[in-house]
Amino acid sequence: MSSLALINEFLGQPPNASSHGYQIDHILEFCHWFMGALFIGWSAFFIFVLIRFRKRRQPSADHLGVRSGISTHLEFSVVLIEAVLLLGFAIPLWAKRVNQFPPGKEALVVHVVAQQFSFNYHLPGPDGQFGRRDVGFVSNSNPLGVDPNDPAGKDDIVTLGELHVPVNRPVIAELSSKDVIHDYFLPAMRIAGDAIPGSLIPIWFTPIKTGTYEVICAQLCGLGHYGMKGTLVVDTPADYEAWLKERAELAGTQSAPAPGAPKTENKPPQPAASPSPGG
Ligand SMILES: [Cu+2]
């Protein structure tokens, strides 16, 4: 990291923990320095104008205005730099993020379902298949409405507020919402995406450092918006398997017990996922 990159840290950006994040950081770094230069330049110009065109020196208005071409050249260069930033860096990077998804088999696919005021996670469980979801099955104990009669959904894992992923494996998060527009934002992964009711919006990232990271909602979605803060835990593959196993054992206990599965009947309906009081 060059000393120029310290500007991101100075402005409060958490360290990057994803494989593509450094590209985002380079653009942010450049933008921050560029905006800093513009701020100083325009401020200096403003002060110059205040002094140069003060009333004592300029008692009557000059209707001809500016005669030098400096300001035109300056403004043209600013537009040029901004165009290069947008067309040369921002749009190509964005296009890469939305067009070049990792193959589904290689990636971990997780459904992120936002609601006021938390993020629910739906994982396919050991069989690798998501169970069907229907709004008709939604209840307190089955927040995502996983169909209890669908065999693919029997081992599905549903968690609230906390997601575990293995390090160095691409993660595809499919975002949707149960109520209003939210925005699933992983600052350390340098990725965010809107969760919009009626839409399924995929985003992807590859975590490269184990640790616990912040998940926040980046759309002001209601009074309990602040309470949507959650955690993303990037595990070593062994730790991730252990978490998955633990969750898989609890799976099925959150949906209404189907006939033929009496073992789960007396278990508490929701795993101890410690939902934070949304507010
Ligand atoms: Cu929200």
The pLDDT tens digits of the residues spanning 200-232 come to: 999 999 999 999 999 999 999 999 999 999 999
Read off the pLDDT of residues 1-57 as tens digits, 9 standing for 90 and up.
Answer: 567 668 888 888 889 999 999 989 988 888 888 899 989 999 998 999 899 888 888
Q: Which residues of 32-57 are buried (b: 16+ CB within 10 A; e: fewer)?
A: beeeeeeeeeeeeeeeeeeeeeeeee
Q: What is the pLDDT of residue 274?
A: 42
Closest to 188 measured CA to CA, from 6, 5, 15: 15
Per-residue pLDDT, 104: 72
Instruction: Tell me, in angstroms, the distance from the centre of ligand 1 to residue 103's CA.
Output: 29
Over 50: is that where the pLDDT of 260 sits? no
Ligand 1 center to 57 CA (angstroms): 56
Distance 181 CA to ligand 1 centre (A): 7
> pLDDT exceeding 90 applies to what percent of the chain?
37
What is the 98 CA–ligand 1 centroid distance (Å)? Answer: 22
pLDDT value of position 188: 93
How far apart, in whole angstroms, are the C-alpha atoms of residue 70 and residue 213? 48
Q: How far is the CA of 115 from the centre of ligand 1 (A)?
A: 7
Q: 183 CA distance to ligand 1 centroid (A)?
A: 6
Mean pLDDT of the chain: 83
Task: Please write the tens of the pLDDT for every residue from 185-196.
Answer: 999 999 999 999
Task: Output the CA 111–ligand 1 centroid distance in Å.
Answer: 16
**Contact between residue 187 and residue 217 where contact means Cβ atoms under 8 Å apart:** no
pLDDT of residue 51: 92
Residue 5 has a CB neighbour count (10 Å cut-off) of: 16
The confidence band for 249, taking pLDDT boundaries of 50, 70 and 90, is confident
Among 46-60, 63-77, 122-136, 184-198, top mean pLDDT goes to: 184-198
Task: Calculate how far, in angstroms, residue 117's C-alpha sits from the geometric centre of ligand 1.
Answer: 6
Instruction: Tell me the C-alpha distance between 272 and 141, whole Å.
Output: 12
Q: What is the pLDDT of residue 255?
A: 44
Q: How far is the CA of 184 from the centre of ligand 1 (A)?
A: 8
Q: Worst-scoring range by mean pLDDT, 62-76, 97-111, 154-168, 256-270?
A: 256-270
pLDDT for res 182: 95
Higher pLDDT residue, 31 or 259? Answer: 31
**The predicted structure's pLDDT at residue 263:** 39
Q: Which residue has the higher pLDDT, 87 or 12?
A: 87
* Ligand 1 geometric centre to CA of 242 (Å): 30
